Amino acid sequence: MKVRVNAKINLTLDVVGSFGEGYHKLDMIMASVGIFDFVEVNPADKITVFMDMRESDENNIAYKVAKICNEKYGVPPLRIDIIKGIPFCGGLGGSSADASAVLYCVQKMFGLADDIVKDIAAKVGSDVNFILQGGLCRACGKGDNLEKLPFKEYSLVVVKGKSTASTKEVFDKFDEVGKITDYTKQFLANTANNNELQFIGNGMQMAAQTLCEDMGRVISTLNKYSHYVCMSGSGACVFAVMKNMSDANLLADKLKNNFPFVKACTTLPYGIKEM
């Protein structure tokens, strides 16, 4: 079975507290976007994962999903082939997307129950359940408490510079320099009057900028072309909301030689599509 699995962006992200043990309480608006991986799943003699035709080890999140499904729920070993389109260390949920794709295929192929799929998703990554559901959602807690929102289409340009930082590094830096924000509540309060984009924002952006030396250049460049510019997740991707896809494509063409990753895309009402 082969699927296309979409990345996610955070239109808002607020750190609103802590669970302790390094886990933070979050309040976010997440959207599926047209940046994607292709994932193919086939029964096999042993579990293997190939990413862009190179074999990955057992630390790969897709491998972990296949191992749980095999050892705990009797699913046969799987060969998983992934073609990456979602950039690494981008805050776009690339690893979670691959785990979601494997879970989706396993459920379709072997009839895994919804509650089992959700349980596995929660174990392996905080974005996995969202990507399985897709569309536009408010996500609270560790990111897996989801509230479906009416879908809205936004035209975007997503850009990533050379520098990156791990999610842990950004959260640790947030604990030093970050502040509590309420972008999500403000965004939701202004959707009825179509003024929600005034309140896109990411409470972790300042922390990530101190770690990613060229993120400031990405942000200042996008600010020249859009009033609505924001980091996704824990970085390092930054997106600009444009008036339409024509403007988004023009800007992406203009910037494609300036940064390692530049992509024009729209938000989408689904997370996974069968091929």
pLDDT tens digits for range 156-186? 999 999 999 999 999 999 999 999 999 999 9
- Asked if 157 and 262 touch (Cβ cutoff 8 Å), the reply is yes
Output the pLDDT for position 143.
81
Q: Closest Cα to residue 18, out of 130, 180, 177?
A: 180
The phi, psi pair for 125, rounded to 5°, reads: -175, 140
Both tokens assigned to 181: 């924000």
- Per residue in 189-235, pLDDT (tens digit) is 999 999 999 999 999 999 999 999 999 999 999 999 999 999 999 99
Long-range contacts of residues 14-21, Cβ cutoff 8 Å, at least 24 apart: 14/180, 14/181, 14/182, 14/183, 14/184, 14/185, 14/203, 15/174, 15/178, 15/180, 15/181, 15/203, 15/204, 16/180, 19/142
Active-site residue, 127 included = yes
The whole-number pLDDT of residue 23 equals 76
Q: Dump pLDDT digits (tens) for 57-115.
A: 999 999 999 999 999 999 999 999 999 999 999 999 999 999 999 999 999 999 999 99
pLDDT exceeds cutoff 90 at 20: no
* 67 within 8 A of 58, measured Cβ to Cβ: yes
Residue 158 has what pLDDT? 98
Q: Which of 37, 98, 127, 173 is catalytic?
A: 127
Which ranges in 125-261 belong to alpha helices (H)? 128-133, 167-177, 183-189, 205-211, 215-223, 245-255
Residue type, 243: K
Confidence grade of residue 27 (pLDDT, cut at 50, 70, 90) = very high
Model confidence band, residue 134 (pLDDT cutoffs 50, 70, 90): very high
Question: Is-contact 103 117, C-beta < 8 A?
Answer: yes
- On whether the CB atoms of residues 3 and 103 are closer than 8 A, the answer is no
State which H helix or E strand residue 140 sits in: strand 136-141
In degrees and rounded to multiples of 5, residue 127 shows phi and psi of -95, -5
